[in-house]
Amino acid sequence: MPDAKHTPRARIARTVRLPEPSRAALFRRAPELGPRVLFFSGGTALRDLSTTLIEYTANSIHLITPFDSGGSSAVLRKAFGMPAVGDLRNRIMALADRSITGNPAVFELFAHRLPKDVPQDELAAKLVRIMNGEDPLIRRVPDPLRKIIRTHLRFFNERRPKDFDLRGASIGNCILAGGYFNYNRMLDPVIYLFMQLVEARGVVRPIVNADLHLACRLADGRVLIGQHNMTGKEAAPIDAPIESLWLTASLDDPTPASVRIRDKTDKLIRQAEVICFPYGSFYSSLMANLLPQGVGDAVAAADCPKVYIPNLGHDPEQQGLTVADQTRRLLAALEAGCAKACRREDLLRFVFVDSRGGRYDGGLDIPAIKRLGVEVVDVPLARADDSGQADSRKVAELLVSLA
């Protein structure tokens, strides 16, 4: 019998309906047999999709950007020199099985933020009450998860500087930060632990376990450092298009930094059954994930359908870009991550658009997308409420139909 390396293989092409109702129904009956749909993402844009997707597959893979420099993540990163954990926390909770006893209490605790208008000593006392198991938020969490959370909070509390600003702090982020220290500054073990405890359906990983930041150059020549300066959420929306994006080691220095994905991340990408470049913040969520070395090579090596689903509504990071422009930049980023030239169809095969329900700020320009060698699939994606947002169930059924 041939060994695994020499097992005969045959490439089979097939045509599928999109969506394929019978295939979606099959996976919904047995999500544990569902496909390994891999996403490069960050932020909260995929929260609803992730919650819906677990009805169809327990095997989705989520590679998340750890470069956020705003909100409570900024305070943690400045104090401890660590990757951002907020988006990881959000995705773990989105994939968790809400029917498990105790999980609603965990969601409430992880989502809780300390108030911004309370003195620091009162906030510290609140944190200690949670840590000691005295606060109602933690008392509702069942063991053994309660003990694990308290242990990780203790690690966090022992290491936080005396001048650490607790105003608006996310308890979930503090718990993950404590676990990060408990596991010798490694994120994967604490992510895995909490995913097991809340029975999250899938795999969540940071694209890299590195303390790096985003920097970009605008069309007018200005350089911005820090994701919080690009998204329009904490700073004023950018008033010129983004021309280029890179990683840097400091919020004070735009010098480019280099990092390579780990072997286990490379393996996750190569073994995916569908790769999705999804909607969300185009640069700070999607393109940021493609910056580490090795991503392009791994995507090219994955023998599976690869699809880009652009935003159906407004994204301040995409100003001036048609969907064709976005596709061109996505391909360029993937090609830049390849050690040698590869076929475009090995990097991106499909672009899913909704010409009727979508609100594409820069326009679609479908002929230009096709000239890039990418197949355009015009299919209903938008919600029926005319909100300009994607319908999570439609997207989920489309993606599992590709597998």
Helices (H) and strands (E) in the chain, counts: 15, 11
pLDDT reported for residue 44: 87
Helix (H, G, I), strand (E, B) or coil at 215: strand
Q: Is 30 helix (H, G, I), strand (E, B) or coil?
A: coil
Q: Residues for the chain: how many in total?
A: 403
What is the predicted pLDDT for the residue at 97? 87
Q: What is the pLDDT of residue 235?
A: 80
Alpha-carbon distance of 80 to 165, in angstroms, equals 13
- Residue 378 bridge partners (DSSP): 353
The H or E element containing residue 195 is helix 188-197
In this predicted structure, what is the pLDDT of residue 212?
Answer: 98
Please state, as a whole number, how many other Cβ atoms lie within 10 Å of the Cβ of residue 366: 16
- Sheet arrangement for strand 242-250: 223-225, 213-218, 242-250, 253-256
Q: Parse the chain into domains and list their residue ranges.
A: 4-65+263-402, 71-203, 213-258
Q: What is the pTM of this model?
A: 0.95
**Sign of torsion, CA 251 256 261 262?**
negative
Q: Are 102 and 142 in contact (CB under 8 A)?
A: yes
Instruction: Output the pLDDT for position 6.
Output: 65
Contact 127, 166 (CB under 8 A): yes
Using alpha carbons, list the distances in angstroms from residue 77 to 82, 319, 324, 372, 391.
5, 29, 36, 40, 34
Q: How far apart are the first and last CA of the chain?
A: 28
What is the mean pLDDT of each successive set of 10 residues along the chain, which is 403 residues long?
Answer: 63 82 97 98 92 98 96 92 96 90 88 96 98 97 93 96 95 96 94 92 97 97 96 84 97 97 98 98 97 98 98 92 98 95 95 95 94 97 90 98 96
